[in-house]
Amino acid sequence: MLDPAGRVVMVSGASRGVGRAVMERLIAAGYVVSAGVREARGIQPGPAVMTSRYAAEDVASAKAWVAATIARFGRIDGVVCAAGINPMARLVDEDETAFDAQWLVNVKGPMRLVRLAWPHLAAGGEGRVVTIASLSGRRVANDNLGYAMSKFCVVALTQAIRREGWEAGIRATAICPGFVATDMTRHVTSFRRERMSRPEDIAALVETAMRLPNTATVGEIGVNCRFEALA
């Protein structure tokens, strides 16, 4: 297992939900975290954490965040792509605004962030990328086609990162949960909230993926809070 001491991890969407839980888990484990947020929301900067404004649809903010992380810590050892949105985007919707928004935030956001951090991830020979995908990136089980399409793309992105970064020691894992009890699922009435996965559960899996050595990495993790037959 990799020693987290001194390793710097960028976490997008760190102001709330899964991103916030990941940030807190990694700091507690001994990582240094650069938190990409739209709003700081009570995050206290310190020796082990810095915040930078980050809007996933804005490539300029991604560039500024990577530059600020390097200026502060001098290295980037990992990237966790947790920022995401899920407005309803149905197949029959003529208005494609929600589809376009999910493409920018859920797909191009993590792609751009990893691309910008790439030389730093490769430099240490043990770079790590974890994407927060979804079981919706493995099957389509509801009307939100836009979200499913975007998360299928995130899984493909993760596979491409693994392929292109393998020789440089970059390893990537897509974590694919079902319902997680965050603001993103407050509208869900078809499944009891107390039975959903917790953000802290997902954060524990992120830490595990971050600590696995180059010789024993996991490309994809499906996370169920209810029974689903395995494909």
Cβ(212)–Cβ(30) under 8 Å?
no
How far out from the chain centre does Cα 198 lie?
Answer: 15
User: For the segment 161-216, what is each residue's pLDDT rounded down to a tens digit?
Assistant: 999 999 999 999 999 999 999 888 888 888 899 999 999 999 999 999 999 999 99
Q: pLDDT tens, 7-41?
A: 999 999 999 999 999 999 999 999 999 999 998 87
CA-closest candidate to residue 188, choices 180, 176, 200: 180
The rounded distance, in Å, linking the Cα atoms of 123 and 97 is: 39
Residue 71: predicted pLDDT: 98
Answer yes or no: is pLDDT of 231 > 70.
no
pTM of the complete model: 0.96
Q: Which two tokens stand for residue 219?
A: 């490309």
Per cent of the chain over pLDDT 90 is: 91
Q: Tell me the CA distances in angstroms from 216 to 4, 13, 163, one per residue in order.
A: 16, 27, 15
Structure confidence at residue 182 (pLDDT): 87
Binning pLDDT at 50, 70 and 90, where does residue 220 land?
very high
Comparing C-alpha atoms, which of 171, 178, 167 is closest to residue 218?
A: 171
Of the residues 99, 147, 152, 179, which is catalytic? Answer: 147
Q: Can you give the pLDDT at residue 229?
A: 86
Spatial distance between the Cα atoms of 11 and 79, rounded to a whole number of angstroms: 6
Query: Distance (Å, rounded) from C-alpha 154 to C-alpha 143?
Result: 19
The amino acid that residue 160 corresponds to is A
Q: What is the pLDDT of residue 97?
A: 98
Task: Based on the residue annotation, tell me whether 147 is a catalytic residue of this protein.
Answer: yes
Structural domains in the chain, sorted by start: 8-223 (3.40.50.720)
